[in-house]
Structure 1
Amino acid sequence: MLDPRKLLLLRELARRGTIAAVAQAVTFTPSAVSQQLAALEREAGVPLLERTGRTVTLTAAGHLLVEHAQAVLEQLERASAALAATRGGPSGPLRVGAFPTAARVLLPPALAALTGAHPGLRPMVAEIDPADVSAALRAGELDVALVHEYDSVPPVTDASIETEPLFSEPIYLTDRPSVAAARADAWITNKPGTLCHTMAIRACQAAGFEPSVRHHIDDFDTVLAFAAAGQGVALVPHLAAINPPADVPLTRLPLRRRTLAAFRKGYGEHPAVLAAVSAFRTAAARLPL
C-alpha cells in the first residue's frame, strides 16, 4: 500500500526540484525527506528517482506516480471535507492567506461577518504574495487564500489548486495620461518576483519600452506617497487608490486585476472554506468598485 504522506513528498519534489526545497516546505530535514522517498520507492517496487551526485530527478515511473498521487490526495481532501461537514457548523482554526490590499480592504468586513455567523471559527490571517500561495496551500500552511491575477500576466496553473472568482478592479497610472507617455520617467514597481511587478513590466513592454525602475515597493500607500513626492510613476489597482493623495492624478487604464479565492482541490466543500468564500463574496459585493 502506498503511503499518501510519501506521495505528497513526491509531488512536492516534482514541483520544487530539490530535496532541500521539499524539506523546507514541509519542515522536515533533507535526510528525513530522502528516507521517506526511498521508502516510497520500496513500496512502489520500481525506481522513482534518478540520483546523479547531489541532483535528483524523477524517472518516468516517478512522473506517472505523481499524476496518480494528485488524484489520491484530492480524494483525501474531499474525504476530510465530508467528515468535517458531519460535525456540524464551521469551527476551529481557519488559516487564511491574503495579499496586502485584500487584507486591508476586504478581510476586515468579511472576517467580522464570518466570526459573527460562526463564533466557533478562528480565522488566522497571514499576508502572502499570490505567487507563493500555491506552495503554501499544498504544504497545508493555509486552508484558503485570496490571490490576484492580471490581464497582462497569464495565471500560473497548479493542478492541485482550484479558484473561485470574487471581483475585478481597474488599474490606474499615476501622473501621466498613458503608459507610453511615461517612457522617460522613473518607475516605482513592486519587488521582482511578484505578480504586480510582472504586470508593470509587461504593461511598459506592450507600450514599446523597458521601464527605468528606481524604487521597488510593495505597499501601495507608500507607492502613492512616493509618487506624490515626485519620485516616479506607478501602476496602482483601484482598491489601493480609493483615497489617493490629492496631488497624484490617476489615469484609468484598460487593464484589470482579478481577485479570487484559492484552496486545495477537493477541499472546497469543507464547511469552514465554504463559509469563508461566502463571506469573501459578500464583502466583495460591497466594495466601492
Structure 2
Amino acid sequence: MLDIYRLRLLRELDRLGTLAAVAKALNYSPSAISQQLSLLESETGAVLLERVGRGVRLTAQARILVRHADAVLERLELAEAELATSMTEVTGTLRVASFQSVLLALIPGALSGLATAHPGLRVEITQLEADPAFEGLLAHNVDVVLGEDYPGLAQPLKRGIDEEDLIHDEMLMAVPASGPWHRRDLADLAGAPFVFDPGDIVPGRWARSLCRAAGFEPDVRIVSGDLLLQVRLVETGHAVAFLPDLLWTDRTHGPLELHPLPGRPRRRLFTGVRTGSAEQPAIRAFRKALQVQVGPKRAG
C-alpha cells in the first residue's frame, strides 16, 4: 500500500519544482523530504527522481503517481466533507487567508454571523497577498483564500481549486476634497502624487497601467498596500489613490471625494478552496456568511 503522505510530497515537488520549495511550503528540511521520497521509491520499486544539475526532475513513472495522487487526495477531502456533513454541528478550525479590503469590509460581519450560527467553529485568519495565499491553499496550510482579479489582469485558474464569485467591486478614484489635486477626471491628474500598491503585485500593476492608458506616467510618491494609510494620505491632501468601493461598507471617510474611473473598472472578488473540500460544512458556512455580507453591495 502506497503511503498517502509521500504521494502528497511527490505531488508538491511536481507543483513547486524543487525540494527546497517543498520543504519551505511544508516546514520540513530538504533532506527530510528527500528521505521520504526515497522511501516512496522503495515502496513502488520505480525510479521517481533523476538528477538534473543541482536539482531533480520527475520521471515518467513519477508523473503517473502524481496524476493518481491528485485524484486520491481530492477523494479523501470529499470523504471528509461527506463525513462532516453527516454531523449536526459545524465545528473544527477553518484557516482563512485574505487581503486587507475584504478583512476590513466583510470579515467582521461574517465572523459575527458565524459566531451566532456556529459557535463551535473556530476561524483563524491571516492577511496574505494572492500568490502566497494560493500556495498555502495548495500546500494544505490554508483552507480558504479570498482572491481578486483586476480587469485585463485575470489570473489563470489554478489546478485543483474551486472558485466561487463574491462580487464585482467597482474601483474608484479618491482625491482630496480641496487643493491642487481636487479633480474629477483621471487625465487631469498628470503630475499628481499617487499612493499605489507595489508595482510587482497585481493591484499595483493595474493602477499604473490605468494611468498610462490615460496618457501619463504616474508620479508614485508612496508605495504601500495599506488601504487605511492610502485613505489617510488622500484625506490630508498628500496623494491620490484608486480605492475599492467595498472599502466604504459600514465606513465613512473624511475630506476626500470618490469619482468613477474611465470605463468604471471592477475587480472580481472570489473565494478559492481545494476542489475536494468545497462541500465541507465549515467552508460552506463561511462562504454563506460572506455572501450575506456582500448582499447589500450586490443589490446596490
TM-score normalised by structure 2 residue count: 0.86
Give the one of 201, 210, 213 matched to 1:203: 210
Residue pair 1:201, 1:211 contacting (<8 A) in 2 also: yes
Partner residue in 1 for 2:26 = 26
In the aligned structure 1, how far is the partner of 2:212 from the partner of 2:91?
48
Q: Could you say if the C-alpha distance between residues 210 and 38 of structure 1 is closer, same or farther in structure 2, counting changes exceeding 3 Å?
A: farther
**Distance in 2, Cα, partners of 1:228 & 1:192:** 23
Say if 1:81 and 1:244 are closer, same or farther in 2 by CA, change over 3 A: same
Quick one: structure 1 residues 66 and 186, their matched pair in 2 at CA, closer, same or farther if it must change by over 3 Å?
farther
TM-superposed CA distance for 1:122, in Å, is: 1.3
Q: 1:26: how far off?
A: 0.6
Change (3 A) 1:42 1:213: farther
Tell me by how many angstroms 1:272 deviates: 0.9
Find out whether 1:244 has 2:244 as its counterpart. no
**Matched residue of 2:276: which SS?**
coil
Match of 2:178 in 1: none
Percent identity, aligned pairs only, is: 37
Post-superposition offset of 1:64: 4.1
- Conservation of the 8 A alpha-carbon contact between 2:104 and 2:247: no
Superposition map of 1:168-183 within 5 A:
168-175=168-175, 176-183=183-190
Match in the other structure for 1:59 = 59
1:264 aligned to which of 267, 274, 280: 274
Which structure 1 residue ranges, 5 or more long, are not aligned?
A: none
Q: Residue in 1 aligned with 2:290?
A: 280
Residue in 1 aligned with 2:180?
A: none
**Offset of residue 100 of structure 1:** 1.3
Which position in structure 1 is the counterpart of 2:68?
68
Change (3 A) 1:210 1:45: farther
Count of aligned residue pairs for this structure pair:
288
Q: Does 1:39 align with 2:39?
A: yes
What is the one-letter code of the residue matched to 2:283? V
**For 1:249, what is the secondary structure of its paired residue?**
strand
Aligned to 2:126: 126
- The alpha-carbon deviation at position 178 of structure 1 amounts to 4.0
Tell me how far apart the structure 2 counterparts of residues 15 and 187 of structure 1 sit (CA, whole Å): 38
Rg (Cα) greater in structure: 2
- Unaligned 5+ runs, structure 2: 176-182
Is the contact made by 1:221 and 1:240 (CA closer than 8 Å) also made in structure 2? Answer: no
| Corresponding letter in the other structure for 1:81 | A
Deviation per residue, 1:20-64 (Å, 9 max, x gap): 111111111111111122222333443332323422233344344
For residues 150-194 of structure 1, the C-alpha deviation after alignment (integer angstroms, 9 at most, x for no partner) is 122112421121111111210012334444443433332113443
Once residues 211 and 49 of structure 2 are traced to their aligned partners in structure 1, the CA distance between those partners, rounded to angstroms, is: 43
Deviations along 1:72-116, whole A, 9 cap, x unmatched?
221111111112222322112121222111112111111111121
| Alignment map for 1:205-220 (pairs within 5 Å) | 205-220=212-227
Distance 1:7 1:214, change over 3 A: farther
286 and 50 in structure 1: CA distance in 2 versus 1, 3 angstrom threshold: same
3-state SS, counterpart of residue 164 of structure 1? strand
Helix, strand or coil: the match of 2:265? strand
| Rounded Cα–Cα distance in structure 1 between residues aligned with 2:7 and 2:188 | 52
Which stretch of the first structure deviates more once superposed, 265-274 or 182-191?
182-191
Structure 1 letter corresponding to 2:74: E
Do the aligned partners of 1:171 and 1:256 also contact (CA within 8 Å) in 2?
yes
Matches within 5 A, 1:85-124: 85-124=85-124
Q: Distance in 1 between matches of 2:200 and 2:7?
A: 29
Whole-Å separation in 2 of the counterparts to 1:192 and 1:58:
35
Q: 1:186 to 1:156 in 2, by over 3 A?
A: farther
Return the TM-score normalized by structure 1.
0.90
Question: Given that residues 134 and 145 in structure 2 are in contact (C-alpha distance below 8 angstroms), is that contact kept between their aligned partners in structure 1?
Answer: no
For 2:238, the aligned partner's letter is Q
